[in-house]
Amino acid sequence: MLKRDVMKEIKKWKDSPVHKCLVIRGARQVGKTFTVERFCEKAYSSFIEINFLENPTMKKIFSGDLDAKTIRKNISVYLPESRFIPGETCLFLDEIQECPEAITALKFLAKDKGFDLIASGSMLGIDYKRPTSYPVGAVQYIDMFALSFKEFLYASGITDEIIMDLKEHFVNKTPVPWAIHDRLMEIFRLYMILGGMPEVVATYFATDSIAEAQRKLQDILTDYRYDIAHYAVAEIKMKAEECYFSLPGQLSKENHKFMYSNVEKGGTARKFGSSIDWLKSAELIKCVYNTKGYDIPLSSQRIDDNFRVYPTDIGLLIGMYEKTVRELIIYPENQVLGSAVKGGIYEAVIADILIKNGHKELFFRKPETANFEIEFLIQNKDGVIPIEVKAGKSRSKSLDNLLQRDEIPYGYKIIDGNVGVSDKKITIPHYMAMFL
């Protein structure tokens, strides 16, 4: 079974003496249902599961009064084997976006302290079948993604002990022994082409076949096409699909800024902007915005019409490229892959890692009139931290120039190499992005 760190968050929620109902949000097929089922099977003596996508009939449970007593009674009629044992029961409402009345009912069910309540959904950020009343203040949220790089390491047989040892090298800024470093880079490149979708990862480690895993990945991309067609409103269905599947072309340009004209000749924000908003709300993409400067909060200096778009899982992006690109990633000694394509892919995998690390806002810095670029800017207690990403080991002119500014405490250069320090510049290998 794939080890998921989100289990710790769910346990923390359950162990809290006063907890609201829990809503787990995330894109389709990132493992929400499987994770909740495995947790509840161990944590509760009674587990009641309702999946509104698999069993549309169950929507009738929420078709009348929405008080907890009535809903309990309706559940006992439709699921006669269910048992509400005080303090030992969890009700799981899966694919809740399919039943707006159930979303509305969360605020009433939350008042019933006789059982715990978990809901999950994959399109909760969009207006599809909007509930009549949203349960503001009655729920706690957890955002769930596909497997992070650290979770991929678990699946690869890398233990917590080894990861903690790597973190010591990161904190102390000391080189990793080369035998370990080389193995971590191999796993990192494998993660780049597979990503973290649970079914893809499980297939690879069960079959040891990249080809089999890629077939699963292509199936998921096909499912995502259907999801866009199913959930997006009529006027943006095709445009949202075109924007999403334009990502390889967008990231293969020398300038990775998202260009509507790359989606369609003459394309504009007026035509495609709502499609980007929809894809963000569906948690299929993350927008990283250019910023005018380095003052905190960076959001106050965001350039709204200048952004880059990355998928929320790197495997989905690589799955959109032809097979040759995957082969050139996994065998880095072959230098045929174009520098712009390679740069965009390495940016995307670092974005994947940062997003899954919990960075809700990411920024970059690229003035329109200067030969200067910092791929990512993050904020922490020390201030604004620049991150320059290199596919190989080339010079970091932009980072070197930026680190001359007094207000920048330090910065990271991420490379295909080992740990090193030069004044305020900290060099780390790609896989250590998981500690940022």
Domain check: are 195 and 101 in the same one? no
Residues 129 and 206 in one domain: no
* Whether residue 393 sits in one domain with residue 307: yes
Residue 336 lies in a domain: yes
Cis before 311 (ω within 30): no
Q: pLDDT value at position 341?
A: 76
Which pLDDT tens digits describe the chain residue by residue (436 residues)? 789 999 999 999 999 988 889 999 999 899 999 999 999 999 999 999 999 999 999 999 999 888 889 999 999 999 999 999 998 999 999 999 999 999 999 988 888 888 999 999 887 766 555 555 667 677 899 999 999 999 999 999 999 999 999 999 999 999 999 999 999 999 999 999 999 999 999 999 999 999 999 999 999 999 999 989 888 888 889 999 999 999 999 998 888 899 999 999 999 999 999 999 999 999 999 999 999 999 999 999 999 999 999 999 999 999 999 888 877 787 766 555 667 678 889 999 999 999 999 999 999 999 987 789 999 999 999 999 999 999 888 788 999 999 999 999 999 999 999 999 999 999 999 999 999 9
For residue 230, the model assigns a pLDDT of: 85
CB 28 within 8 A of CB 225: no
Asked if residue 312 belongs to a domain, the reply is yes
CA-to-CA separations, 57 to 12, 74, 83, 217, 350, in angstroms, rounded: 33, 12, 20, 31, 43
Residues 115 and 185 in one domain: no
Phi and psi at residue 371, in whole multiples of 5°? -85, 75
* Region of 204 on the Ramachandran plot (φ > 0 left; ψ -120 to 50 alpha; else beta): alpha
- CA 309, 310, 316, 322 torsion-angle sign: positive
| Residue closest to 283 by CA, chosen among 357, 226, 360 | 360
Q: For strands 374-380 and 363-365, give the pairing.
A: antiparallel
- Claim to verify: residue 423 and residue 392 sit in the same structural domain: yes
Place of tokens 């893809």: 200
73/210 same-domain check: no
139 and 201 assigned to the same domain: no
425-429 vs 420-422, strand pairing mode: antiparallel
Total domain count, the chain: 2
Instruction: Kindly state whether residues 118 and 162 are assigned to the same domain.
Output: no
For residue 1, being part of any structural domain is answered with: no
> How many CA atoms, within 13 angstroms, populate the side-chain half-sphere of residue 296?
11
CB atoms near residue 177 (< 10 Å):
12
Q: Which two tokens stand for residue 324?
A: 């040759």
420 to each of 150, 154, 360, 432, how far by Cα in Å? 22, 26, 28, 12
pTM: 0.92
* Token pair recorded at residue 314: 């790197």
Whether 163 and 295 map to the same domain: the answer is yes
Say yes or no: 180 and 117 in one domain.
no
The DSSP output letter for 28 is T
Checking DSSP bridges between strand 89-94 and strand 116-121, what pairing results, if any?
A: parallel
CATH code for the domain of 30 = 3.40.50.300
Positive or negative, the CA dihedral 342, 345, 349, 350 is positive
Q: Residue 152: left if φ>0, alpha if ψ -120 to 50, beta else—which one?
A: alpha
Q: Give the 3-state secondary structure of residue 293.
A: coil
In angstroms, the CA 362 to CA 38 distance is 32
Q: What is the extent of the structural domain holding 289?
A: 149-435
> pLDDT at position 328, please?
79
| Single residue among 113, 143, 173 that ends a domain in this structure | 143
Neighbouring residues of 102: CB distance < 8 A, sequence distance ≥ 6: 52, 59, 61, 62, 93, 96, 119
**Which residues face 296 on adjacent strands?**
none
Q: How far apart are CA 330 and CA 328, in angstroms?
A: 6
Whole-number pLDDT of residue 77? 94
Rounded CA separation 360/357 (Å):
9
Among residues 143, 169, 198, the one where a domain terminates is 143
